[in-house]
């Protein structure tokens, strides 16, 4: 997996219309006090294709679950694009549309959680570049990818509704650069959604990610 993110799953959309660009975040990222996440919590993702809900289990991967809780509270994922969609493998996201916000979280690498659950279809997992490199990037498994278990990818949540929405996310650009013609995650980190709007306008995106009461 590249240092900028994990190489993971895909779906495609038949739509030829450009997606409306999500509003670019220009404000300073919210300051969120670090807290322990609830034992189980749900996050609703309102996307350009509809809603899907992830249920997070802290006992599956407590470090990852706490960090995700913090990121959602900080609204980090609002406006983010699904920039790597590989059919039969994964949907990857988790780079903010504002380079300033990405920079704020760039040094938030987490210690690893032991792998307790399998990377089966619908499981949510951090992308990594090796040991202790988890930050903000995530992927949803579109298929059973249990070969990732032995590589240290520790699932911490599962899509419990709206998996058909995840399956429908636009995947026509394929693998990211330099292996394919899709988005370059390094340019995304440095230029944000302006880069994606110019070169990859059909990508679907997250409108809001919200912790359910």
Q: Which helix (H) or strand (E) holds 207?
A: strand 206-211
* Residue ranges covered by each domain of the chain: 40-211
| pLDDT higher than threshold 90 for residue 100 | yes
Query: Residue 174 in contact with residue 9, Cβ under 8 Å?
Result: no
pLDDT of residue 76: 97
Which residues are CB-neighbours of 31 under 8 A, at least 6 positions away? Answer: none
Residues 160-212: tens digit of each pLDDT:
999 999 999 999 999 988 888 999 999 999 999 999 999 999 999 999 999 99
Pair of tokens at residue 176: 């990211």
Integer Rg of the chain from CA: 15
Global confidence as pTM: 0.84
Residues 3-23: tens digit of each pLDDT:
334 433 323 233 333 444 455
Residues 35-74: tens digit of each pLDDT:
799 999 999 999 999 999 999 999 999 999 999 999 999 9
Give dist(CA 162, CA 41) in Å, integer.
16
Stated length of the chain = 213
Tell me which CATH code domain 40-211 carries.
2.40.100.10
Torsion of Cα atoms, 131 then 135 then 138 then 144, to 10°: 10
């Amino acid at each position: 997996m590249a240092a900028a993110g994990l190489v993971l799953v895909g779906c495609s959309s038949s739509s030829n219309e450009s997606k409306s660009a999500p509003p670019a975040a220009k404000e300073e990222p919210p300051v969120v006090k670090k807290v322990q996440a609830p034992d189980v919590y749900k996050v609703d993702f309102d996307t350009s294709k509809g809603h899907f809900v992830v249920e997070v289990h802290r006992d599956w991967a407590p470090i990852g679950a706490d960090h995700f809780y913090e990121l959602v509270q900080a609204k980090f994922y609002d406006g983010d694009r699904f920039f790597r969609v590989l059919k039969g493998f994964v949907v990857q996201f988790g780079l903010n549309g504002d380079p300033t916000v990405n920079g704020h979280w760039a040094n938030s690498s987490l210690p690893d959680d032991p792998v307790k659950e399998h990377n089966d279809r619908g499981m949510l997992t951090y992308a990594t570049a090796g040991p202790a490199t988890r930050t903000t990037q995530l992927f949803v498994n579109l298929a059973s990818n249990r070969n990732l278990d032995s590589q240290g990818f520790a699932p911490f949540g599962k899509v419990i509704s709206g998996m058909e929405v995840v399956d429908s996310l636009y995947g026509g650009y394929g693998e990211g650069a330099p292996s394919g013609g899709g988005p370059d995650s390094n340019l995304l980190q440095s230029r944000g959604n302006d880069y994606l709007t110019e070169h990859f306008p059909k990508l679907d995106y997250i409108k809001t990610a919200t912790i359910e009461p």
